[in-house]
Amino acid sequence: MTAPARTTVPAARGPMAEAWDIFRRSPSAMLGLLLLGLVILMTFAGPFLYQVDPFEIVWAPLTPPGEEATIPLGTDNLGRDILAGLIEGGSATLAVGFAAAAITMLIGVVIGAYAGFYGGIVDDMLMRVTEFFQVLPPLLFAMVVVTLFQPTLVNVALAIGIVSWPQTARLTRSEFRRIRTLEYVSAMRAIGAGDGNIIWRVILPNALPPLIVSATLTIGMAILFEAGLSFLGLSDPNVMSWGLMIGSGREYLLDAWWVVTLPGAMIFLTVLGVSLVGDGLNDAFNPRMRER
């Protein structure tokens, strides 16, 4: 993030500091950050504070929350501790969510950058590929990939990344198309900078704000995606995750509401946190749009 800082007007503070100022003053953005912080804290510190194996059978099946002091959130259909599952389940969901979002951004930004920068036939060909991936129904395609190959966490993250990148590519492309015509890009060209230099060190830093917002929303989408796959039982069965808990508890839904409701609420709060942060970033980077 080292934009060329050779401005003639001395900037008192960077644009990032200014954005943070706006972000900080938005209650909903701070709520989102708080939610996200709590979920991450629970995932990382939880296993040390509450040392129960989420796969171990600890009590009678379908014990409601609050009935046993040692099992605050009750047990599932096999008698496993729900609270332990919620703590452990977060790490798989978050890891896949972040990894998938990283893959999405990597593919999307590279393809979008080349298409937007070069235009012409390169743009045409890359956009055809993008359009092809856009007509594939994402969840179905990920389901196929995960079943044909092994449902490991890596494959799940890859499958989600492969189906999610077209939107990022389109956004990156439109930003690059806009920025490449600006004067400072011509100036760089005039002093003899190479294409790679211009793409990655001049245009990309200036295209970052909308890409950061998009990356945040991509994380939220990837988490929902992972939850959907593991709800269908297509994620790694040896790793506890919130979606898996919902999938295996849904048959007992009418007798034991907590087995399904609690992990779902965790997914909801996590994605809510991510999207509030995303909205806050969007407002912070586009102060003029705030009225909407």
Partner 1 sequence: MYRRILRQLLYAAALILAVLVLNFLLIQLAPGDPAEVIAGEMGGASAEVMAAIRQQYGLDKPLPTQLALYLGRALQGDLGMSYFYNRPVVDLILSRLGPTLLLVATALGFAMILGTRLGMLASRNPRGIASALVTVLSLVGYSAPVFWTGLMLVILFGATIPLFPIAGMIDVVKQGGPLVRALDIAHHLVLPALTLGLVYLAQYSRLTRASMLEVLGADYIRTARAKGVGERQVFGRHAFRNALLPVVTVAGMQFGAIISGAVLVETVFSWPGLGTLAFQSILARDYPTVLGILFFSTLIVIIANLLTDFVSRLLDPRLAGGR
- Chain residues binding partner 1 by CB under 8 A are 131-132, 134-141, 143-145, 147-149, 220, 224, 227-228, 231-234, 243, 246, 250, 253-254, 257, 260-261, 264, 267-268, 271-272, 274-276, 291-292
Angle at 137 between CA 135 and CA 143, to 5 degrees: 140
Q: Which is nearer to partner 1, 22 or 272 (CB)?
A: 272
* HSE-up (13 A, CA, CB side) for residue 2: 1
Question: How far apart are CB 253 and partner 1 at their closest, in Å?
Answer: 6
CA distance 228 to 221: 10
DSSP, residue by residue, 77-123 = TTSBBHHHHHHHHHHHHHHHHHHHHHHHHHHHHHHHHHHHHH-HHHH
At 130, which helix (H) or strand (E)? helix 120-135
How far is residue 25 CA from its own chain's centroid? 24
At 287, which helix (H) or strand (E)? none
| Residue 16: CB atoms within 10 Å | 15
Q: Which is nearer to partner 1, 105 or 267 (CB)?
A: 267
Which amino acid belongs to residue 258? Answer: W
Q: Which is nearer to partner 1, 113 or 159 (CB)?
A: 159
Question: How far apart are CB 239 and partner 1 at their closest, in Å?
Answer: 18
Question: How far apart are CB 261 and partner 1 at their closest, in Å?
Answer: 7
Question: How far apart are CB 211 and partner 1 at their closest, in Å?
Answer: 19
Question: How far apart are CB 138 and partner 1 at their closest, in Å?
Answer: 5
Question: How far apart are CB 28 and partner 1 at their closest, in Å?
Answer: 9
Q: Which is nearer to partner 1, 71 or 262 (CB)?
A: 262
Q: Which is nearer to partner 1, 198 or 224 (CB)?
A: 224
Contact of 188 with 198, CB cutoff 8 Å: yes
Q: Which is nearer to partner 1, 84 or 262 (CB)?
A: 262
